[in-house]
Amino acid sequence: MITRTPNHQLRHLVAESGLTYEAVAKAVRAVAAECGAALRTNKSAIEHWIAGVTPHEETGRYLAVALSRRLGRLLTPADLGLPAGSQEADDTIGLNLKGDPLDALMPMWRYELDRRRFLSTSAYSVAAAALPLAHAQEIADRTTAAARTGHTTGMADVAAVRDMIRLFSEMDERHGGQHGRTALITYLRDDLAPLCRGRFRTEEVRQQMLSAASRGVHLAGWKAYDAGQQGLAQRYYLQSYALAIESGITGHDGFVMRTMAMQGLKLHHPQHCQGLAETGLNRAKGKVDAPTEALFRVVHAHTLAKTGQPHAALTEAEHARALLAADPGDEPAFWALTWGPPAASVYSRTAKVYETLGDHQAAAQQYAHAAASRPAHTYARIVALDLVAGAEMQIKRGSIEEACATWNRAMDHMDGVRSHRTRKAITSMRADLARFRARGLRCAAELDERARDFLTT
């Protein structure tokens, strides 16, 4: 007969959370769903785990995330009294801002290239989302203790890195996040990291190289995001933020905070989003060109809308649009062009403000402006997604024929795009069309047939 040792660590943490066993089980299922796993964890499973039964390794990680969210601090399976498992690294890899960011990134890149599920199935950490708000000055005051190579890096190296990252970015937008992903990670690890650890001709070269590295790591995060790997994307964004801070380039760190706010909003974890967006804006306003400041303001507007401040949200969104019409000043920085023309990003995010506030007509108009403001061939994926979002607003207004036409235009841009988000958008579209197909509406039936063919290709 097997004698089990009760898991007192887990019992104490569950008690501290104030959740019932049934509520803990529900939270575990929710985290698993975010990672693409369907669990049937129930109250009895929690009882068994506290009694000493060891859950499956990945289930233990989901449990750690669920309790981390509830308790507001980062917990690992070991903190829950669970075995470390077969992974070579703990669950906090990439989820801290201590030490040299490259030291955190090197094992992450190794795991990516080895196709380890350890990071690709990791969940978004609410506790880690607040890290940039608390560690900015600590990182800025730190001197990187990385070993130096014999190469002396100059502005020609910075220009080459920017060209490569720009090439990877264009491939990403045109063909989706899964095209060139392995090549990007290999380039960051084998070419860019040694340049960041080399000698620099001037302080300006050092700043610009670290800023370029931050943009490259940000792109790796974006590719993970596009693949639906939210936990991995968050880890990349945190290290991109650390590199941006170390670069000392005005506004770049705030731009990454802006991205992290956008991710939190998308995942319905708004706890730190307004703080991230507002802090990022404060680091940039009056110090960057007008279109770039508009990018900061419109995300801040979205967080205001999400936190029940409609008047402030609309005022901030209008301020962002006004900046687009103002004297642009200097050219936008390399990092500010991550998603192409700033105007398109401002229109798209303004649409989300209106959508949050329930003004579907205004949202549809802004999504249309966004789609029309980007070169469709270069930005195929994001144009398609803006059109999809616009169609969703049209169907909410009862304009099914108009929505079908917009959805068809969106699908025109999806050929050759490998993206979890586009496939998810088409799956969602089919669900929206179901009731209209049942009524025998021809445009809905034809569009659904096209969507079915797309998903089986």
102 and 54 co-located in one domain = no
| 233, part of any domain | yes
User: What is the rounded radius of gyration, in angstroms, for the C-alpha atoms of the chain?
Assistant: 23
| 298, part of any domain | no
| 352, part of any domain | no
pLDDT digits (tens, 9 = 90+) for 358-379: 999 999 999 999 999 998 888 9
pLDDT digits (tens, 9 = 90+) for 19-30: 999 999 999 998
| 85, part of any domain | no
| 326, part of any domain | no
76 and 147 co-located in one domain = no
144 pLDDT tier (thresholds 50, 70, 90): very low
Residue 413 CA to residue 406 CA, distance in Å, equals 11
141 and 24 co-located in one domain = no
130 and 165 co-located in one domain = yes
pLDDT of 302 higher than 80: yes
138 and 187 co-located in one domain = yes
pLDDT of residue 4: 78
pLDDT digits (tens, 9 = 90+) for 221-245: 999 999 889 999 999 999 999 999 9
pLDDT digits (tens, 9 = 90+) for 415-447: 888 899 999 999 999 999 999 999 999 999 999
Residue 53 CA to residue 46 CA, distance in Å, equals 9
Domain count, the chain: 3
111 and 244 co-located in one domain = yes
131 and 48 co-located in one domain = no
218 and 111 co-located in one domain = yes
Residue numbers of the domain that contains 394? 358-457
pLDDT of 451 higher than 70: yes
Q: pTM score, two decimals?
A: 0.84
191 and 103 co-located in one domain = yes
Residue at a domain's end among 249, 282, 314: 249
Nearest to 344 by CA among 386, 314, 316, 304: 386
| 255, part of any domain | no
Question: Taking residues 212-227, what's their average pLDDT?
Answer: 95
- Other Cβ atoms closer than 10 A to 259: 23
Quickly list DSSP for 105-135. HHHHHHHHHTT-HHHHTPPP-HHHHTHHHHH
pLDDT digits (tens, 9 = 90+) for 282-291: 999 999 999 9
Residue at a domain's end among 249, 271, 304: 249
Residue 288 CA to residue 252 CA, distance in Å, equals 10
Residue at a domain's end among 54, 80, 106: 80
| 165, part of any domain | yes
74 and 98 co-located in one domain = no
155 pLDDT tier (thresholds 50, 70, 90): very high
49 and 114 co-located in one domain = no
Residue 233 CA to residue 238 CA, distance in Å, equals 9
68 and 133 co-located in one domain = no
pLDDT of residue 145: 40
Q: Would you give the DSSP letter of residue 335?
A: G
Q: Are 39 and 61 in contact (CB under 8 A)?
A: no
Query: Collapsing DSSP states into helix, strand and coil, what is residue 338?
Result: coil
Question: Taking residues 386-396, what's their average pLDDT?
Answer: 97
| 215, part of any domain | yes
pLDDT of residue 140: 52
